[in-house]
Amino acid sequence: MRLLHTTKLVVEEFVESQSKSYRYAILSHTWNEEEVTFQDMQGEVPTYKKGFSKLKSSCIQAKKDGYEYIWIDTCCIDKSSSAELSEAINSMYRWYKEAAICYAYLSDVPPREVEDPWYYKSGFRQSRWLTRGWTLQELIAPRQLIFFSKSWTGLGTKTELLNLIYEVTTIDKDVLLYGRNIREALSISRAMSWAARRITTRVEDRSYSLLGIFDVNMPLLYGEGHRAFYRLQEEILKQTDDESIFAHCLPFGYSIHGIEEDPGSILAVSPDCFSESGDIFLYTRDARLHAPLEHSVYVPTLATNRGLQVNSLGCPCTHNYGPHNSIEVHGWLMILNCGMRNDILSRPAVFLRQLDSGSDRFERFNSAELLLLCGWKKIMSISTRVFRDQSKKAYVDQSVQSSFAPIRKTSASYYIRRAQKQSDSRPSPAMCLGQKNTKLRCSRFCTRSGLAKLERTGETSFWRPVQ
C-alpha cells in the first residue's frame, strides 16, 4: 500500500502491517481531466496539471485534521502493473473501511452558503459522484465521511446528511452508519439494486467495484466484458444460499452490445437487472422453517464443470402467450426462497423452459419478467415433505444446473403476477395458474407491470386486483 505524505507530497510505500500503524485519511472523488498519476509523482510534482489542485487541497485538509498521510487512488496505485492494480481493487473496500476519515470531494456541487443540499433540485442530489460505480463502496465503507463542495467547503458528514443520502441512493441507513455485513443482513438483490444504473468507464468495473461490498475476491480480466458480472455472481454463490440473486429481470428496452435481447440466463447480465428488486428480502432462519422450501438433505449451490448446481423448489408449468394465448411453452417455475417486503405472502419465481422435448436442458424464458407466486399462504398449508426420488435435475442455459423438488399435488390453484416498480401504485391484473394434469397452466398473462393487492373472490379459486 502506498500513501501520500501530506507535507512533502511524496508517495511512500508501506507493507500491510506498517500501514495499519498509521492513521491515514483517504479521498473519494470522480476522475476528471489531467489527474496526477503515480508516474507523475516519481519526478517533480506536476503543479501544471488540472488535477494537482484537488490533490493539494486534500493534503491541506488532511494535514489540518492532523493526518500525516492520505491515500488517493490517482497517484497511489501504479496502474501500469496489472498485478498491483488487481491487488488494489481487491483491497480497496478494506482500505476505505480502515481509514481514519474519508473526504468525498464533489466537484460539481456548490458551497452550502450558495445552495442548500436538501433543496429538491440541489447540485448534491444530482452530483456525478452519486452516480458512479466506484463511489458506492466509498460511500458505504468509511466509518467517518465528510462531503466537500467544489470550493473545498464542508457540506456535512455522512451522519448529518443520512436521510438525504437515503432518499437519493435508497441504501439502508444502518448500512451507511454502521457498515452492517451486507451479505448477512440484507438480500443480495437489494444490495445489487444500489448498483443499478451506476456508471463506470469500463464495463468490467461495474462488477469489480462490487467486490468489497459482497466481500469476495476474484482476479481482474479486463476485456472480458459482461462476463465479469457472471463471475462475480458465481463467487457470491460460493458463499451464500441467498436465492434472491436469481430475482432479476431485464429493464424495459434494455440492450447490451454483444448480448442477445433475451439471454435466457439464470444469472443477470448486469447490475441494472436488479433495478426493480430492491424490495426483495431474505427470509430469516425462523421464517424459513415455515416455508415449504426446506429439503430433507440440504444441497448447497456448487460450481461444477457443467455450471452452477442449484437446489430449489419448483413445479411444472405450462405457459401460454402470444395472440389469443396460442403459443404454449412447457417448463418449470423455479420458486425462490425469498419474499417481497410489502407482500410477504408472495414468492418471486422465474419460468424455465425446456430447450428440446425430453431434454434435460432448460433456459430461463423471458428474462424481462420476474414473476410473483401469489396466495402463498394456501401453498404453505401443503405438506413440506419432499420426495427425493421425484426431484428433477435440469441443465439451465448459461451453464446452470438445477435440482427441483416438486410440490405435492393439491386441489388448490396458484397464481403468479409480475413484480412492479415502487412508483407505480395502479392495480394490475394477476395471472391465474390452475391445476391441469398435475401441471400449472397459465390462463392469462399480465399486460403490464403491477403489484396490486389481491383478494379472494368466492370459492372459484380466482384472484382479482383490489380497486
In sequence order, the β-bridge partners of residue 349 are 335, 371
Q: 205 lies in a domain? A: no
Q: 57 lies in a domain? A: yes
Which among 131, 162, 180 is the end of a domain?
Answer: 180
In tens, the pLDDT along 360-394 reads 566 788 777 787 776 544 333 322 222 222 233 34
Q: 160 lies in a domain? A: yes
Say yes or no to pLDDT of 451 above 70.
Answer: no
Kindly state whether residues 284 and 161 are assigned to the same domain.
no
Which among 135, 156, 180 is the end of a domain?
Answer: 180
Q: Which of 29-43, 69-83, 204-218, 325-339 has the lowest mean pLDDT?
A: 325-339
Kindly state whether residues 319 and 175 are assigned to the same domain.
no
- 237: buried, middle or exposed (CB in 10 Å: 19+, 13-18, 0-12)? buried
Q: Which residues, including other chains, have CB under 8 Å from residue 354's CB and lie 6 or more apart?
A: 330, 331, 361, 362, 394
Q: 128 lies in a domain? A: yes
Q: What is the DSSP letter of 168?
A: H
Q: 293 lies in a domain? A: yes
In tens, the pLDDT along 89-128 reads 999 999 999 999 999 999 999 999 999 999 999 999 999 9
CA 391/CA 319 separation, integer angstroms: 21
Kindly state whether residues 175 and 287 are assigned to the same domain.
no
Kindly state whether residues 174 and 294 are assigned to the same domain.
no
Kindly state whether residues 20 and 140 are assigned to the same domain.
yes
Domain region containing 32: 2-180
In sequence order, the β-bridge partners of residue 439 are 436
Which among 137, 156, 180 is the end of a domain?
Answer: 180
Nearest to 419 by CA among 312, 274, 321, 315: 274
- In which residue are the cell numbers 384472484 written? 463
Q: 256 lies in a domain? A: no
Q: pTM of this prediction?
A: 0.80
First to last CA, the chain: 60
* Count: domains in the chain: 2
SS3 206: helix
In tens, the pLDDT along 3-16 reads 999 999 999 998 87
Q: 190 lies in a domain? A: no
Kindly state whether residues 432 and 296 are assigned to the same domain.
yes
Q: 221 lies in a domain? A: no
